[in-house]
Structure 1
Amino acid sequence: MLTRIVIVDDHPVVHDGVAAQLQRYPDMVVVGRAGTGAAAVTVCAEERPDVVLLDLRLPDCLAADVVPELHRVSPESRILLFTAFPEHAAVAPTLAAGACGILVKHAGSTAIRDAIRSVARTGAFHDGTPASVTTPVTAREYDVLRLVAAGHTNPEIGTELNLSINTVKTYLRTVMHKLAARNRAQLIANARGQGLL
């Protein structure tokens, strides 16, 4: 079975290096590349790949933002998070958004091959990275945090996420406690300091 792959990363050296490694395997073909989340959505809508290798941090968004869009335009695609920072705080929200697993960028060509085959065959890949242990916020808290950072009020966040205002306040209180923030400005600053935004 031929596995069709799209590589999403803003560094050409990563694109080219991974594509070159995968050329060795007759059961894999790279059908597209993208350097931004928006470009990834376009490429995946056209190519409908089996597997998407998705960088955690893109110039226009974090991976957690683009995973739902990729699933919308290409429901059968399986997304493998590809990052140099497996302990990054945004990993768990990306997995919660629907990515199948995480692969570190320093992995060798056989590890990349095995991860792609695993995701294509079973829809999952685990290399033992304890992402959830190191991530302070849940996927829903992360959603609230991103909307706060975008300047939304509690009622607007409630409408956007289909939550009651009290629930929004609870999430906000929890995430402020977790990130040791006393107000929204400090919350945004602390979240940026931890690489969440």
Structure 2
Amino acid sequence: MTVRVMVVDDHPVVRDGVTLLLRSDPSLVLVGTAEAGRAALERVEELRPDLVLLDLRLPDMLAPEVISGLRQKDPGVRVVVFTAHGDHQGVIAALEAGANGCLLKDVAGTDLVSGLRRVLRGERVVDPRIMPDAAYRSDALARSGLTRREYEVIRLAAQGRTNPEIAESTGLTRNTVKTYLQSALHKLGARNRVEAIGKASEAGLL
């Protein structure tokens, strides 16, 4: 199956380099590029990519803003942050905004393609050099069976947020938050919210 990829980066050498790297896998097709966040949001509806490779630092917008905008335009698009900087806080903000992964720009071509393939399979992929614990957490999430949304709800609940506050933070309805929470409780084998948070913590998710 052909996967449509869009690259968003303000450096032409990076855009050209990624184009060359993607050629190692003929099923990954570069459908277009953008040099800034606003341009990416304008082009995503036209290009309809399956996956966006997004620079963490753009000249006009923060990566989390771009990710939120991309999600509004196309909720199903996968977004992988591509950065030269091991910016811990910037990566966390991007992941919390809904990024499916984060890779460093010095990654080898085969590793880039492998990382993108894992994201397309539904995994969250973070280069361990950026956040050493993220890879472990990603594995723990896979073992738990929780979806990204269920994990997000549990994580916010662990911060002491109420269902209405979680709904406001995530853009979900209160009923949807309740449904995700109940599903997470079932998968974690917990009887209530407090027990679920405890089990999630024991599993290395929090």
The answer to whether the 8 A contact 1:87-1:131 is kept is no
* Pairing 1:47-66 to 2, within 5 Å after superposition: 47-66=47-66
Percent identity, please. 42
* Pairing 1:71-150 to 2, within 5 Å after superposition: 71-131=71-131
Residue type at the aligned position of 1:63? A
- What's the CA shift for 1:86? 2.2
Structure 2 counterpart of 1:33: 33
Structure of higher RCO (CA pairs closer than 8 Å, 6+ residues apart): 1
Residue type at the aligned position of 2:23? Q
Three-state SS of the structure 1 residue aligned to 2:20 is: helix
Three-state SS of the structure 2 residue aligned to 1:86 is: coil
The answer to whether the 8 A contact 1:92-1:132 is kept is no
Q: If the length of structure 2 is used for normalisation, what is the TM-score?
A: 0.61
The answer to whether the 8 A contact 1:48-1:76 is kept is no
Three-state SS of the structure 2 residue aligned to 1:25 is: coil
The answer to whether the 8 A contact 2:51-2:79 is kept is yes
User: Which stretches in structure 1 are left out of the alignment for 5+ residues?
Assistant: 134-161, 164-197
Deviation string 1:55-75 (CA, Å, 9 cap, x unpaired) is: 001010110111110011111
RMSD: 2.2
The answer to whether the 8 A contact 1:55-1:83 is kept is yes
Three-state SS of the structure 2 residue aligned to 1:90 is: helix
Question: Structure 1 CA distance, aligned partners of 2:40 and 2:72?
Answer: 12
Q: If the length of structure 1 is used for normalisation, what is the TM-score?
A: 0.64
Structure 2 counterpart of 1:15: 15
Question: Structure 2 CA distance, aligned partners of 1:126 and 1:105?
Answer: 12
Runs of 4+ in 1 over 4 A off after TM superposition: none
